[in-house]
A and B are shown apart, each in its own frame.
Chain A
Amino acid sequence: MSANTADIRVETGNGQKPYLTASNLTKQFGNFTALSDISLEIYEGEFVCFLGPSGCGKTTLLRAIAGLDIQTFGTVTQGGEDVSSLPPSERDFGIVFQSYALFPNLTIHKNIAFGLENRKLPRADIDKRVNELLELVGLNSQADKYPAQLSGGQQQRIALARAIATNPGLLLLDEPLSALDAKVRAHLRHEIKELQRTLGVTTIMVTHDQEEALTMADRIVVMNDGVIEQVGSPLEIYRHPASAFVADFIGTMNFVPGQVNGSDTLKMGSVELKCDPEKITERGNITVAFRPENLLVQEGGKKLPNAFEAEVKYMEFMGSFFRVDLLSKQTNSDAHIKGDFSINMVRRTGVKEGDTITVSIPHDRLTVFPGVN
């Protein structure tokens, strides 16, 4: 799997040494391998998301990096220092959990001050720092309240303030937004990102929500079954998924069985598709993948390349667009294809269920995966 190691990208890496590395991490629980030979590099100031379905090992990886559940094999370095076997208390990080984990019987002030105590800091300095942090998360009037008296979003901001109180070099966020409702989540997403940018703290966030990852992360680490599937910027991962798993997990993707038919041509049923030659690395049976929003509808007399006919089976109104279920006899008799049609386009063309329309896929929006899924 070391083929999947982080690609050292010029714009982030900048030739500098990584701040955090994980090398060949393996974590076993009895006979179950939760992490399998993971290697990863994270740079100073980066916001990295570990994304994957539940049970993929993303939280395990985070806990290994934190030292909360130390890996079975492999090394972790932070700031050039080998921290592989160190307990959490001897590492340098702050952490925020999905459950907030605020101490219910302590006031907001005392919750934030918790980590500042026992450090030979004068009381006045602690109070000053707590007030600064409350200001930073915009909750300075709530200092004497108890966690249960705040809303979920407010509690999570307190948890964040508590985690960064000691100015840690690394901020770990374990599904911090999952317990919140949609509106608060979207708002806090933005706020956390802002805060991270202001502080410049290296941050790792674990999430199963692709939208969260796509909007917040500088780089996304997509994981599945204890291995890294792909590392890259949100755009790269969305545009160029390295595996069928990534393609399927992030966004919506059509998978249609096909064959390679020459150096730059694919066949999907009886449909011939032009494709960028560098994408064709296999011979024989392949899977053709493309996103619903990349499906174009032929309007007027203009002929599009890579076009084929399909029947509109269902049209699902999604608010800002229609998700359309298409069946094309030409591609494959039982291959349903999803297409996203804009409201404007639907109004313009008058497409309705039962119509047969011509659609096309631009050659640069095609992805080819080996074998048939």
Chain B
Amino acid sequence: MAEVTNSTPLKVVKPKASRDDWTMRAFMVMIGAYLLIALAFPLYIMLSKSFENKDGVFIGVENYIKYFSTPALFNSIENSVTISIITMVITVTLAFIYAYALTRSCMRFKGFFKIMAMIPILVPSLLPGIGLIYMFGKQGYMKWLLFGETIYGPLGIVIAEVFFTFPHALLIIMTALSISDARLYEAATVLRAPKWKIFWTVTLPSARYGLISAAFVVFTLVITDFGVPKVIGGQYNVLAVDIYKQVIGQQNFSMGAVVSVVLLIPAIFAFFIDRQVQKKQVAQLSARAVPFEPKPDSKFDALMMSYSGFIVLIIVTILATCQFAALVKFWPYNLSLGLQHYNFDLMDGGGWDSYYNSIQMALWTAAVGTTVVFTGAYMVEKGRGFQQGRTLFQFLAMMPMAVPGMVLGLSYIFFFNNPDNPFNFIYGTMAILVVSTVTHFYTVAHLTAMTALKQMDKEFESVSQSLQQPFYKMFLKVTVPVCSPAILEIAIYLFVNAMTTVSAVVFIYSYHTQLASVAVLNMDDAGDIAPAAAMGMMIFYTNAAARLLHAVVSKYMEKKTQAWRQR
């Protein structure tokens, strides 16, 4: 004992890092640097720009004073909040009933209804706007439904935003409804509670976190969306379009930065509330509940099925209208069909090249994004050391959800288009579009990866270390294969969103890297609305094909790996 106790006992042991630790730290630094460079620094510079005048001189809150003394500008806050709240209420209500039909009824064709409801995710938000113009515009074939109201303005924005946000709300509410505990219903039925009372006392309360979460997601999507109000907003100003007008129309970058900051506030606010609610939802999830099994009720099932059918009909009608309009020679004066609107090379927006660029960009985003996101999540969840760095990384990874695409794009102009920036060389290239898109959609992808990684045995890393194997061997041979479903899910998510996003790229694309989604915007902007619809539908078909391919690959992998995935 004597020879071991005489070592100074109160000296803190400094763990020695192995070569493996150093490799891992190098990865952590690289991944951390990515989020700093692609997110934190640009946002910081944008924030500081909002306190500068056109010549880059610091002028304090002068820009803000100007902003709040210009009614045409600050009125947009009220407009943005108004349409976001109206859309939120409508979407959550519609999605709740739809989710209720899918989880609590015995209606037929549930698989079909589930797939059809997801369609809006596959199109750029500009497209429903265009569809509505053909349906309810001056020459719209369903114009009579509006009784003289104009579709250009809040009415059109809300309808298109409901279309655009519906699947997002539906997914969340469906999850919430499917975890409800059947035992509560049994208890309520035994107590002879009438159906409506069960609904109010059991169904709604148990789905409340899902509903709140869905409400905030819809709110955030709408207030940060740029496509819909741009196409169909008419003179109804909203914040996201204001940024575009300030930057593109008036070249007033400082004011663009001010509006960006103003837009960030409600988005961040909604984001934090949602995070709090999500945590509670998770707690509710972990309780072992008996899944609810709906019982057939022919009247109720028929009602639910007609409702779902009606929603699907609306979704299909909007898309079919776009496709039809894209094929019509000269709406509304010559309704014969032709392909001349597909001659994109004669229009603004970059022609067919923009379509191929988009596919290229989406593939890069999926490849680079999946690698970065998954490796990053691995470092956060399974990394050793750098505890504070990992916490910071986790925080940064959650941030993009609260940062509107326009704001991110604008901050990229400020940050990357600075000759002093060593990354200046990516400005105007495909790379900056990929970085912006990956960063814009980082959070959801990160959460998907984290969920998959959390299901991995915590001790894999310990075992691997004790067997003196490097972490990357374990990562490549075990972690990646086991998480492959999640990895594919991340890849397809990034691909689809890279195809449809406008806001994250509209400020930073260049002549050589024009994109299909931006082409839709620019063609619509120039009044070439039929070609815009045609390009929008091209994006839809591409995404639908990608989704299909994803389903086939997943199925194949499931089959191939079922030997070890079986329970």
| Residues of A in contact with B (beta carbons under 8 Å apart) | 2, 5, 21, 23-24, 26, 37, 39, 41, 66-68, 70-75, 77, 84-91, 93-95, 97, 99, 101, 103-106, 114-115, 117-118, 146-149, 162-163, 165-166, 168, 172
Contacts and interface: CB of A to CB of B under 8 A. Distances in A.
B16 A87 contact: yes
Nearest to A85: B16
Nearest to B563: A146
5 contacts: A5-B1, A21-B4, A73-B9, A73-B11, A115-B467
B467 A68 contact: no
Given A93-B466, A101-B457, A23 B564 contact: no
Contacts of B15: 67, 70, 85, 87
Given A21-B4, A70-B15, A73-B12, 16 more contacts: A23-B1, A23-B9, A24-B5, A26-B9, A39-B5, A68-B462, A70-B13, A72-B12, A75-B13, A77-B4, A97-B463, A99-B458, A114-B467, A118-B470, A162-B463, A166-B467
Contacts of A91: 466
Nearest to A116: B467
Contacts of A104: 478, 482, 564-565
Interface of B: 1, 4-5, 7, 9-18, 20-21, 457-460, 462-470, 473, 477-478, 481-482, 561, 563-567
Nearest to A82: B7
B478 A106 contact: yes
A99 B478 contact: no
Contact of B469 (A93, A118, A147): A118
Contacts of B4: 21, 23, 39, 75, 77
B478 A97 contact: no
Q: Which 4 A-B pairs have the closest CB atoms?
A: A115-B467, A146-B564, A101-B459, A88-B465
Contacts of A95: 462-463, 466
B481 A117 contact: no
A118 B469 CA distance: 8
Contacts of B459: 97, 99, 101
A88 B459 CA distance: 13
Given A87-B465, A99-B457, A149 B13 contact: no
B13 A118 contact: no
A66 to B, nearest CB: 7
B9 A24 contact: yes
B463 A101 contact: yes
Given A39-B5, A103-B460, A103-B478, A73 B468 contact: no
Nearest to B5: A23
A26 B11 CA distance: 11
A94 B16 contact: no
Given A85-B16, A103-B478, A148 B9 contact: no
A106 B563 CA distance: 10
Contacts of B567: 148
B379 to A, nearest CB: 17
Contacts of A2: 5
Nearest to A2: B5
Nearest to A98: B459
B254 to A, nearest CB: 45
A117 B469 contact: yes
Contact of B16 (A74, A86, A93, A163): A86
Contact of A73 (B10, B16, B467, B566): B10
A77 B563 CA distance: 43
A41 B2 CA distance: 12
A46 B567 CA distance: 37
Contacts of A72: 12-13
Contacts of A168: 466
Nearest to A100: B457
Nearest to B482: A105
User: Which of A68, A101, A103, A172 neighbours the largest number of chain B CB atoms within 10 Å of its CB?
Assistant: A103
A35 B482 CA distance: 35
A5 B2 CA distance: 12
Contact of A101 (B462, B470, B563): B462
Given A21-B4, A90-B18, A105 B478 contact: yes
A88 B464 CA distance: 9
A114 to B, nearest CB: 6
Contacts of B21: 87
B477 A106 contact: yes
Contact of B565 (A87, A88, A148, A165): A148
A109 B506 CA distance: 53
A118 B460 CA distance: 18
Contacts of A162: 463, 467
A72 B478 CA distance: 32
A67 B21 CA distance: 13
A59 to B, nearest CB: 11
A121 to B, nearest CB: 13
A72 B465 CA distance: 20
Contacts of A74: 9, 13
A90 B565 CA distance: 33
Most buried by A among B16, B465, B467: B467
Contacts of B473: 117-118
Given A77-B4, A89-B18, A105 B13 contact: no
A89 B465 contact: yes
Nearest to B1: A5
B478 A101 contact: no
Nearest to B464: A114
B462 A89 contact: no
A149 B460 CA distance: 19
Nearest to B17: A87
B477 A103 contact: yes
Given A89-B18, A95-B462, A97-B463, A105 B457 contact: no
Contacts of B469: 89, 114-115, 117-118
A74 B6 CA distance: 11
Contact of B7 (A23, A87, A90, A172): A23
Q: Residue among B13, B21, B466, B481 with the most chain A CB within 10 A? A: B466
Given A84-B13, A89-B468, A93-B466, A39 B1 contact: yes
Contacts of A146: 563-564
A85 B4 CA distance: 15
B263 to A, nearest CB: 39
Contact of A105 (B463, B467, B468, B561): B561
B173 to A, nearest CB: 33
A94 B464 CA distance: 10
Nearest to A166: B467
A88 B461 CA distance: 11
Given A87-B15, A148-B564, A105 B462 contact: no
A86 B465 CA distance: 12
Contacts of B20: 87, 89
Contacts of B16: 85-87, 90
Nearest to B478: A103
Contact of A115 (B9, B468, B477): B468
Contacts of A70: 13, 15
Contacts of B470: 118
B130 to A, nearest CB: 46
Contact of B563 (A73, A90, A149): A149
A114 B457 CA distance: 16
B453 to A, nearest CB: 14
Contacts of B466: 66, 88-89, 91, 93-95, 115, 163, 168, 172
B468 to A, nearest CB: 5
A5 B5 CA distance: 12
Nearest to B463: A101
Contacts of B481: 105
Contacts of B566: 148-149
A168 B463 CA distance: 13
A97 B10 contact: no
Given A87-B18, A101-B457, A71 B482 contact: no
A21 B3 CA distance: 11
